[in-house]
Amino acid sequence: MSISSSMNAGVAGLRANSNRLATISDNIANSATYGYRRANTSFHSMVVGSGLAGQGAYAAGGVRTTSSRIIDQGGSLIGTQNATDIALSGRGFIPVTTELGARLNDGTAPLMLSPTGSFRQDADGVMRDSSGHALLGWPAARDGTIPAYPRDSTAALRPVRIEPNQQAFAATTNIDFGVNLPASATLPDASGEPYIMTVEFFSELGLAQTLNVEMRPELDAAGATNRWTMELTHSETGDSLGTFDMQFNTAPGIGGTLSSVSPTGTGPSAYDPDTGQILLEVAGQSMTFSIGRYDEGGGIVQRGATFSPLGVQQDGFGAGNLIGLMIDANGDLDAVYDSGFRRTLYRIPIVDVPNPNGLTARDGQAFQVSRDSGPFFLWDAGTGPVGEFVGFALQESATDVAAELTSLIQTQRAYSSNAKVIQTVDEMFQETTNIKR
């Protein structure tokens, strides 16, 4: 009985080391595969039974194996030349879907998880990796903001699709007018010359237009007035958009900030002290002109002897052609236009599960949620347990070739030893057969 069990144990050893050889071969074959997670074979002893203590009888049970993939251990990051090569700096996975799932645009595409991916547009503008998986993300609103989406459902995820010939522009909705007016210009001996600026904005058709802003200091022989008159004019039509008298503080701590703004003349605009904004109607287009609130900096201030217009900016941009894509650490996929502006098109969440090693492996370095992995959750990058996105990067294979070759030697020796056990048992059977001769 013991001799027979020895042969069975030797056969089990051959089978177990064959399984280990298969995982080692797979790991070495994928040593250059981006995002690959190494497979591992574990050995477990099998105890058939043994006799009572002291009787010396023993039956070999052999060995069995289980193979698994170590998904929570990734490779190092490597830099690339493609902006939409995406890797993660920490825990989590990139949401993707199958090649056929990319045709579904109703939230029913099957969710798959990828540790990294080199995404490029296909003929339809869908962002796919080299395995054909399509990138999933949350669409941004027209103004580039991301609405609130459910985190435990794929209902709001859509295949990321970029229109190849798109043009984009945004009409100006707000102009931040942050300038420093020289306090010396309101002294009795000042020249009284006005300061005139031209401020660009963009219309509802994406056309560049301008506002003329004239700021005239008020003088008084009795002393500094700290008072200015600001007049706004639409350059194209010559229409007056409003005239305002502005008084500046001289008190300690708030010196140079606005103390009062009073509209004068017949212009249609009015100043809101709660927001620090002037509402403008320019050729049917509504926008706000931000000059700052009372007793606060950040808008128009009056200090020193130098005029500085460096704080003027507006939130619109003219029509431009798409020239590239960028992904930032937050997962925002931005379109870059030749006009110099960027607009967020999608936000890519990071998928996490309680037990990554319980995910089911699929082709192309992708995984699917299973009962063993637990339910998924969609995180914003850098929040909770997940890492951040890294553009211009891919994650290398988790295979350590040196370690695998060492295991290969061990496996070969173990396989040879088990074969020797079988050979020895065969010789013992032969000797037993020869007893009758």
Per-residue pLDDT tens digits for 316-341: 888 788 888 999 999 999 998 887 78
Whole-model pTM: value is 0.76
Q: How many CA atoms lie within 13 A of 357 on its CB side?
A: 9
Give me 11's structure tokens.
Answer: 């056969």
Burial of 198: CB neighbours in 10 Å, binned 0-12, 13-18, 19+ = exposed
CA 139/CA 157 separation, integer angstroms? 8
Q: How many CA atoms lie within 13 A of 205 on its CB side?
A: 5
> Taking the CB of residue 55, how many other CB atoms lie within 10 A of it?
8
**pLDDT for the residue numbered 47:** 83
Check if the beta carbon of residue 392 is closer than 8 Å to that of residue 80. Answer: yes
Which residue type does 268 have?
P
Q: Where are the alpha helices (DSSP H) in 178-258?
A: none
Q: Beta strand pairing status for 63-69 and 39-45? A: antiparallel
Closest CA to 180 of 271, 314, 297: 297
172-315: CATH homologous superfamily? Answer: Flagellar hook protein FlgE (2.60.98.20)
CA 63/CA 44 separation, integer angstroms? 6
Where the chain has pLDDT below 50, the residues are none
**pLDDT for the residue numbered 268:** 60
**pLDDT for the residue numbered 5:** 85
Give me 266's structure tokens.
Answer: 């017949």
**pLDDT for the residue numbered 266:** 60
CA 62/CA 7 separation, integer angstroms? 9
Say whether 420 sits in a helix, a strand or coil: helix
Which residue type does 412 have?
Q
21 φ/ψ angles, rounded to the nearest 5 degrees: -60, -35
CB-based contacts of 13, cutoff 8 Å, min separation 6 = 62, 63, 414, 415, 417, 418, 421
Domain boundaries, the chain: 2-73+398-434, 77-164+345-395, 172-315
Closest CA to 69 of 17, 110, 136, 115: 115
Say whether 103 sits in a helix, a strand or coil: helix
Give me 222's structure tokens.
Answer: 């009795």
